[in-house]
Each structure stands twice: as C-alpha cells, then as structure tokens.
C-alpha cells in the first residue's frame, strides 16, 4: 500500500497502473471498487440523512429545508477554508475549523428557523408544515445568493492535502477514508446518545408516542427545539464535510435532499439504524450500477426504495403503527 | 407717434419674431427613441457563474462601446445605425414555462425590438415557436443544440454562434491528431440533451475517423450530481487512454477535484469540450495535458486580431478577468445583429423585424472570435472555425495557458447546408473541407 501526500497535479508521484487483464482479477478489482465506492457514498448519505430522520421521527415534520442546512454548511465551510488557507494554518487545524464553522452555521440557522417560523405551525396540518418548510427552502436559496453571491466557491484544500492511497490498482482518496470514519463515529455517537443519555431516552419516548410522553411530563417543546437544532447542525455538518469534494455552488441543496429522502424512506422515518442501513443499501447499489450497468444508475436508488416500501411500507426499521383515536 | 403706439409696435414686432422662431425650432426632429434589446442569460443558479454572468457582462460592455461609437470598424457607428441601444437584462432561471413567460413579457409588455439570449438548449427550443408566433427578431447566443434550424425553417430566429456538433467533431479530430496510439476512449457526460448530444456527435465522429478505436465506459451521471466517486473508480478500472466530457461549471470543477485526488488524469487524457470557461478558476488544479475546447476560437484560442485585442482589453479592464467563450458568443451575436440592422435600415428609418431578418440571412463578418458565415439553417445559423489546444499551467508566470493549438476550418467541422448534423456525421462527414 503506497501513500502519497501533497497538493497539485505536478508533484504527484503516481505511476499509471494498468488494470488486470485476466477476468477474475478484473472481477476482484471491480468488486472491491464497488465496495469502497459504496461505503464512501453511504457515508455521505448517512451524515446528511441522520438529521432528516431525527427531525421527522421526533417532530413528524418532513423538513424540505434540510437541503438548505446542507447548502449553508457547505458555504460556511468554503468560507472557513478561505480563511484558514489565507492564514496558512496547518491542515488538521484547518479541517477542524471548517467542520466547526459548518456546524455553527447550522446551529444559528436551526435556532432562527425553529424559534422564528416552525414554532408558529406546530399542530397544524402536515401538508401545511411541508409547504412552510418548502417555502423556507426557496427563500434560503436566495438568501445564499445575498450572502455569498452567485459565483461558485472552491474549498478543495482539505481533500488535496490529505493525499491518496494506492491499494493494488485502486487509488483511494484519503479524504474519502476520513469521511467514512466520520460517518462511523457519528453512528456510534448517535447510538450511544440515544441509549445511554437522558436526553436520548427522552427523544426515544417522544419518537415512540408524543402524547404519552407529554402525559408523563416530558417537556416536548424543549425536545422539539433541541432536536431541530441538532438536526440542523447534522445537515450542515454533511455540507461541511462534502464541501472540499464538490464545487460549492447554488443548487447543491436540491440534489442532496432528494437522495436523503430516499434513504430515510428505506430505513424508516425516525430510525437512526434505518438511516445507516438505508445509506449502505443505496450507496452499494448505486456503486454497483455505475460500475456494471451505468444506464440504470439513476433509477436504481428509487427502484430499491420502491422495492423496500412494497415489502415494508414504513421502512425497514419502523413497524406499522396502530391507528389511535 | 404717441408713446403707446411705439410700445405696441415693439410688442407686435417681438411677437412676430417669436412666432417666426418657433416653427424653425419645431422643424428639428425629436431625439430618436432608443433601440430596446432584451438580453436573457442565467443571472442566478449553477450556470450563472461560468456562463450566464460572462455572457451578460459581454453584452453590457459591448453595448456601452457601441453606444459611444468606440468599437472598431465596421462596428463604429453609434448603437445600431446611429440610434443608441437600451438593454433590459432578464434572468433565464426557471422552468421552460417561466422562460417563455419572460420572453412574452419582454416582447408584449416591454416592447423590445429584439431579444438576444439563452444558454440552455431547453430554453432555446421552448422560445423558438413563440418568437416565430410573435414575429420578434431573436438571436440565440449560447445554446448548442443543432435541432433549432433542423426541425423546420425559421423566419425570425437566428444563431450566430455555431452549434455543439462543431465542438465534438473537432475534439475527435484533435485527439486523433495528438494521441496517435489511442485504442479506446470513455465518456462522462451529463444525462440530458446537451450531454447526450455531445457524446453522440463525438462517438459518431470517432467511428468515421478511426473505426478501430472503441468506446469503453459510457457514463451519464445526473446533471448537478456533484459527487463522482463511483464514476472515478469506474474510469480507473478502464483501459481507455482518453476521456471525453462536456461537463461544465460546478460539475466540471467537482469532477476535476475528485479525479485529481485519485490520479485519473495520469491514466487517461481528459478532453473537456467546454473547458475554456473554467481555466481561470481551476488554474493549477487542472492537469497539464488536458485537451481544452472553447466552443469556437474564443479566449486563449482566439486569433490575435485587432478586434480580439480590443474586446479582451475592454472586458478585462472592467471585470478583472479575461472574457471567456460566453462573452465572445454574446459579442458576436450583437455584432451580427448590428450589421443586419444597418443593412436593412434605409435613410434613417427604423427597419421592421422582417427587413432585419431578410438582411441577417447569409451575412458574413469578422468578430473577436473570427470570421462568421450565416451559412446553414437556410442562412439563419452561423458557422465559424474552431480550435482545440492543450492546457498548461505556466509555473513562472503563474497563469493558465493553452498551447499546441490546432485550428479547424468552419467547413471541416460543421455540416454543410441542407443536411442534419447527426445524419452528416453518420454518413461519413461528406463534403468536409479540412486542410
């Protein structure tokens, strides 16, 4: 395994490897590529979807503006990358700064939205709430232009300075490996928080049955506010970690929100393990499609979602709820 | 005479003089109403930064120069035919229905004399029938689909800029000229009309020019997907020596960052048919050896003529960045419209849309991007030469450069009059005049 560091196309010491010419070697290569690509894509989807599924599970709100959290996190991270590259900070400190900046943007945005707008529509019809979040999403798209302008931003420095690793014929970006690690850490943290902290257990009861929880004296309003803010920060974190890979430009929130919905629908709304499994399924299926049958790459995500919903209409990890009167 | 009579006489004389003077002043013609142009381009959204804004800036700077009469000959009359131009800038963002509504607003509410605009092929296809219905002179400046004039004859719609077939035929020719050992190529293009048509024309041209070279991985990710990890992996497992892409803007930049991090450009030469618009942003992030197209001889691919130097100077002085191809396309479109207008105008009277259209058909002129001939599409579609080059980042000057430029004459890479572009390629590009 060879590891290369440093930036710029010119000083990369890679030797162009040629893919294996025998078919079994090629099959192994393709299979390992599908696995690694699937994991990386799953990591990206999980980080974005976990916030969405939390908000839906607790508040039963389909938050279309989650795409805005992602976009704001990405733009905040791009600004942070600009600051630390101009200041010549070390790469690790800069990366941490970028993450924190993204989450801070999510925090502020989450507070403004929850206290300012959502608080006014709790208890109203679900359709109205979806429309409100959609309207907020549209407004925030233009707010982005007001703050950051219509041009796109490049924040590639963390990804380039991480370098890459060659495993056989496959070249992996170290930044992608970091992404997978972050997603795994997040999954672990979420599991621990839900099972072993007081807030986590309150959250679980509210997800399970809001009215009963309220009857037992749980401060549901506080849980709502805290959940929305945490969900916003997680969405923004997703944008922040993805910013070095993509061009941070207008419209990135739109793409990601559709994918996040598909993941949450597969896993079940409100289920963290569902988001994890859903992300893995979507990631690996999509990677397989791109490698083997690229024509169905777009369809396969939604095809899988439709298949899962036929068998388990509430998603993989959520049981049908008996209707209450 | 009495004092009163003298006074009366003086008053009457003064009135008579005033009365004589008034008709003389009334004989001066009133100031001519300005020519109103609607300029439509992406001002917001993902396509704004690489295309929409440079196109809009190109319009602004050229209209300013025309209104002061400072453009080089033969464009040195003020505005169009001595009348100043007033521009209204409209955002192209939105659905096709939106775009059409805005077009109707420009024509019916704002009463523009002509519309110059449109980047998205979708917008152009939607606006064409409406322009014909409203009988408004419309010049498409950037959209690339060949279909506009192939579907049926048009009266009021024109396109000075060549369509996308030229870009992909020239890409194939340049690749085969510069990389003689190519045995296999792959492609990654966005999954909509632009990406599909670009790939189709490239594959078609390659089949004609080098039938033994095969295509391997054919990838069509979603427009604005942004994350290309799986695609990069797939290409890393391919044996191709070349990769064709018509990606632009955020997709192109994201793809370049992601493939750079994994060394894809070390394994295969990447051909970017719209790469010229991105070099000033990507700079040293774009790998040396990338093949760059600019939808014509635009920007660094343009010939060093006086009018090109003039255009580069006024644009760079105002916007601190060199003009890229959308700005060139807008300039060419405005110059073409100006010449057509002036050819049609007789003795200071304002020409009608029909007269301008008749004058526009088949004209030829020289602009910053070279010589234009409105030669195909029944005289409504322009052809120019094009150029492809290889990218190099000059480390001493710390500036992007395009070297090893090869020019392809207009009749080499554009279909001749009277035949559809894809049919022309499929039948072997008969009649192509290459040097």
Measured distance CA(B432)–CA(B414) in Å, rounded = 8
Query: Looking at the structure, do residues B366 and B392 belong to the same domain, yes or no?
Result: no
Measured distance CA(B141)–CA(B252) in Å, rounded = 22
For chain A, the first-to-last Cα distance in angstroms comes to: 62
Test the A interface: residue of B184, B222, B257 with most A CBs within 10 Å: B257
Query: Looking at the structure, do residues B272 and B416 belong to the same domain, yes or no?
Result: yes
Burial class (CB in 10 A: 0-12, 13-18, 19+), A50: buried
Helices of type H across chain A: 23-59, 66-87, 91-116, 126-148, 157-162, 174-196, 198-208, 210-215, 220-242, 252-267, 272-292, 297-311
Residue B11 lies in a domain: no
Residue B339 lies in a domain: yes
Contacts of B340 (CB under 8 A, 6+ apart): B356, B357, B359, B360, B363
The H or E element containing residue B344 is helix B325-344
Nearest to B226 by CA among A324, A113, A27, A257: A257
Residues of B with CB below 8 A from A162's CB?
261
Test the A interface: residue of B227, B247, B248, B319 with most A CBs within 10 Å: B227
CA distance B278 to chain A (A): 11
Contacts of A147 (CB under 8 A, 6+ apart): A75
Subunit contact A287:B217, Cβ cutoff 8 A? no
Query: Looking at the structure, do residues B128 and B239 belong to the same domain, yes or no?
Result: no
- Into how many domains does chain B fold? 2
Is the CB of residue A69 less than 8 Å away from at least one CB of chain B?
no
Measured distance CA(B160)–CA(B368) in Å, rounded = 13
Residue B8 lies in a domain: no
Residue B7 lies in a domain: no
Nearest to A181 by CA among A299, A65, A99, A59: A99
Per residue in B16-60, pLDDT (tens digit) is: 665 555 554 445 455 578 999 999 999 987 788 888 999 999 999
Q: How far is CA B346 from CA B41, B182, B354, in A?
A: 32, 57, 14
pLDDT tens for each residue of chain A, 325 residues long: 444 444 444 334 334 455 556 677 788 888 888 999 999 999 999 999 999 998 888 888 889 999 999 999 999 999 999 888 888 778 788 889 999 999 999 999 999 999 999 888 887 888 999 999 999 999 998 899 899 987 788 888 888 888 888 887 788 888 999 999 999 999 999 989 988 998 888 888 887 788 888 888 888 888 889 999 999 999 999 999 999 988 888 888 888 888 899 999 999 888 888 999 999 999 999 999 998 888 888 899 899 999 999 998 888 888 766 666 6
Please tell me which residue of chain A has the smallest CA distance to B254: A246
Measured distance CA(B224)–CA(B252) in Å, rounded = 10
Residue B26 lies in a domain: no
Query: Looking at the structure, do residues B116 and B188 belong to the same domain, yes or no?
Result: no
Measured distance CA(A208)–CA(A186) in Å, rounded = 22
Residues of B with CB below 8 A from A295's CB?
220
Query: Looking at the structure, do residues B248 and B103 belong to the same domain, yes or no?
Result: no
Per residue in B230-261, pLDDT (tens digit) is: 899 999 989 999 999 999 878 898 899 899 88
Is the CB of residue A148 less than 8 Å away from at least one CB of chain B?
no
Subunit contact A297:B221, Cβ cutoff 8 A? yes
Helices of type H across B214-321: 229-236, 249-260, 264-267, 279-282, 306-319
Query: Looking at the structure, do residues B350 and B389 belong to the same domain, yes or no?
Result: no
What's the CATH code of the domain at B94? 3.40.50.2300
CB atoms inside a 10 Å sphere around CB A222: 11
Q: Examine residue A248 and say whether the peptide bond preceding it is cis (omega within 30 degrees of 0).
A: no
Please tell me which residue of chain A has the smallest CA distance to B286: A9
Residues of B with CB below 8 A from A250's CB?
44-46, 48
Query: Looking at the structure, do residues B268 and B401 belong to the same domain, yes or no?
Result: yes
Query: Looking at the structure, do residues B273 and B179 belong to the same domain, yes or no?
Result: yes
Contacts of B383 (CB under 8 A, 6+ apart): B162, B166, B372, B373, B375, B376, B410, B411, B414
Query: Looking at the structure, do residues B128 and B151 belong to the same domain, yes or no?
Result: yes
CA distance B375 to chain A (A): 36
Is the CB of residue A173 less than 8 Å away from at least one CB of chain B?
yes
Residue B27 lies in a domain: no
Subunit contact A150:B227, Cβ cutoff 8 A? no
Q: Tokens standing for B266?
A: 């070390």
Subunit contact B220:A162, Cβ cutoff 8 A? no
Per residue in B305-357, pLDDT (tens digit) is: 999 999 999 999 999 989 999 999 999 999 999 999 999 987 668 899 999 99
Residue B61 lies in a domain: yes
Phi, psi of A97 (to 5 degrees): -60, -40
For chain B, the first-to-last Cα distance in angstroms comes to: 97
The two beta strands, A164-167 and A2-4, are antiparallel
Per residue in B367-393, pLDDT (tens digit) is: 999 999 999 999 999 999 999 999 999
Nearest to A144 by CA among A254, A231, A237, A62: A254
Measured distance CA(A255)–CA(A264) in Å, rounded = 15
Query: Looking at the structure, do residues B115 and B177 belong to the same domain, yes or no?
Result: no
Measured distance CA(B313)–CA(B115) in Å, rounded = 26
Residues of A with CB below 8 A from B183's CB?
none
User: What ipTM goes with this model?
Assistant: 0.77
Subunit contact B260:A9, Cβ cutoff 8 A? yes
Subunit contact A246:B229, Cβ cutoff 8 A? no
Phi, psi of A269 (to 5 degrees): -70, 130
CA distance B205 to chain A (A): 22
Its domain, for residue B222, covers: 165-294+385-426
Please tell me which residue of chain B has the smallest CA distance to A249: B46
Query: Looking at the structure, do residues B182 and B328 belong to the same domain, yes or no?
Result: no
B66 neighbors B85 (Cβ within 8 angstroms): yes
Query: Looking at the structure, do residues B375 and B286 belong to the same domain, yes or no?
Result: no
pLDDT of residue A10: 39
B216 neighbors B159 (Cβ within 8 angstroms): no
Dihedral sign (CA B175, B178, B183, B187): negative
Residue B30 lies in a domain: no
Residues of A with CB below 8 A from B222's CB?
255, 298
Subunit contact B261:A162, Cβ cutoff 8 A? yes
CA distance A36 to chain B (A): 9
CB atoms inside a 10 Å sphere around CB A110: 29
Nearest to A301 by CA among A265, A259, A269: A259
The domains of chain A, with CATH numbers, are: 31-311 (1.10.3470)
Residues of B with CB below 8 A from A255's CB?
222, 224-226
Please tell me which residue of chain B has the smallest CA distance to A27: B237
A323 neighbors A81 (Cβ within 8 angstroms): no
Measured distance CA(A298)–CA(A101) in Å, rounded = 33
Measured distance CA(B297)–CA(A154) in Å, rounded = 27
Measured distance CA(B318)–CA(B205) in Å, rounded = 40
């Amino acid at each position: 395994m060879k590891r290369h560091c440093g930036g710029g196309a010119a000083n990369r010491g890679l030797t162009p490897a040629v893919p294996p010419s025998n078919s079994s070697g090629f099959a192994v290569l393709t299979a390992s590529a599908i696995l690694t690509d699937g994991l990386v894509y799953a990591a990206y989807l999980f980080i974005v979807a976990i916030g969405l599924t939390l908000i839906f599970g607790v508040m039963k709100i389909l938050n279309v503006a989650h795409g805005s959290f992602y976009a704001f996190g990405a733009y905040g991270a791009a600004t942070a990358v600009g600051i630390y590259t101009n200041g010549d900070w070390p790469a690790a400190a800069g990366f941490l700064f970028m993450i924190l900046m993204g989450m801070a943007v999510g925090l502020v945005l989450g507070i403004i939205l929850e206290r300012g707008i959502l608080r006014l529509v709790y208890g109203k019809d679900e359709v109205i709430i979806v429309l409100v979040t959609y309207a907020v999403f549209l407004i925030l798209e233009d707010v982005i232009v007001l703050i950051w302008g219509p041009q796109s931003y490049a924040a590639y420095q963390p990804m380039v300075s991480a370098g890459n690793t060659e495993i056989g014929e496959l070249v992996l970006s170290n930044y992608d490996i970091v992404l997978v690690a972050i997603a795994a850490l997040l999954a672990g943290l979420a599991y621990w928080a839900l099972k072993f902290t007081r807030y986590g257990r309150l959250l679980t009861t509210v997800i399970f049955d809001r009215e009963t929880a309220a009857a037992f004296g749980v401060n549901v309003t506080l849980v709502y506010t805290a959940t929305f803010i945490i969900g916003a920060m997680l969405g923004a974190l997703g944008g922040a970690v993805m910013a070095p890979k993509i061009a941070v430009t207008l419209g990135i929130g739109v793409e990601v929100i559709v994918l996040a919905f598909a993941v949450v629908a597969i896993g079940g709304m409100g289920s963290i393990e569902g988001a994890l499994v859903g992300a893995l399924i979507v990631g690996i299926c999509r990677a397989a499609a791109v490698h083997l049958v690229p024509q169905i790459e777009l369809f396969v995500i939604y095809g899988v979602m439709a298949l899962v919903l036929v068998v388990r209409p509430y998603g993989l990890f959520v049981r049908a709820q008996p209707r209450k009167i | 005479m009495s004092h009163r009579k003298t006074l009366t006489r003086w008053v009457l004389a003064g009135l008579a003089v005033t009365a004589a003077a008034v008709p003389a002043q009334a004989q001066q013609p009133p100031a001519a109403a300005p020519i109103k142009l609607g300029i439509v381009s992406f001002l917001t959204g993902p396509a704004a930064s690489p295309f929409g804004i440079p196109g809009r800036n190109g319009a602004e700077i050229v209209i300013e120069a025309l209104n002061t009469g400072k453009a080089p000959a033969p464009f040195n009359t003020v505005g169009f035919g001595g009348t100043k131009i007033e521009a209204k800038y409209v955002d192209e963002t939105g659905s096709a229905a939106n775009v059409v509504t805005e077009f109707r607003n420009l024509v019916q509410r704002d009463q523009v004399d002509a519309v110059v605009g449109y980047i998205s092929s979708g917008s152009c296809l939607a606006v064409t029938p409406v322009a014909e219905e409203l009988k408004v002179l419309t010049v498409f400046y950037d959209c690339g689909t060949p279909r506009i004039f192939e579907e049926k004859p048009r009266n009021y719609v024109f396109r000075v800029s060549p369509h996308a077939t030229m870009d992909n035929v020239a890409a194939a020719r340049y690749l085969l000229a510069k990389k003689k050992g190519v045995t296999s190529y792959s492609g990654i293009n966005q999954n909509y009309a632009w990406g599909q048509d670009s790939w189709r024309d490239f594959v078609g041209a390659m089949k004609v020019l080098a039938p033994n070279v095969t295509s391997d991985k054919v990838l069509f990710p979603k427009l604005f997907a942004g994350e290309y990890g799986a695609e990069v992996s797939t290409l890393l497992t391919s044996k191709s020596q070349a990769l064709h892409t018509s990606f632009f803007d955020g997709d192109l930049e994201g793809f370049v960052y992601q493939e750079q991090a994994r060394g894809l450009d070390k394994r295969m030469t990447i051909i970017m048919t719209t790469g010229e618009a991105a070099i000033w942003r990507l700079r040293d992030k774009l790998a040396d050896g990338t093949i760059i197209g600019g939808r014509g001889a635009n920007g660094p691919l343009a010939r060093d003529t006086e009018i090109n130097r003039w255009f580069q100077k006024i644009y760079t002085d105002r916007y601190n960045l060199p003009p890229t191809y959308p700005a060139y396309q807008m300039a060419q479109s405005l110059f073409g419209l100006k010449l057509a207008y002036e050819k049609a105008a007789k003795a200071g009277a304002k020409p009608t849309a029909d007269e301008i259209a008749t004058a526009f058909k088949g004209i030829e002129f020289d602009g910053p991007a070279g010589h234009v001939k409105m030669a195909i599409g029944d005289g409504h579609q322009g052809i120019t030469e094009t150029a492809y080059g290889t990218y190099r980042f000059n480390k001493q000057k710390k500036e992007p450069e395009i070297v090893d430029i090869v020019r392809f004459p207009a009749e080499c890479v554009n279909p001749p009059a009277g035949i559809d572009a894809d049919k022309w390629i499929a039948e072997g590009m008969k009649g192509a005049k290459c040097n």
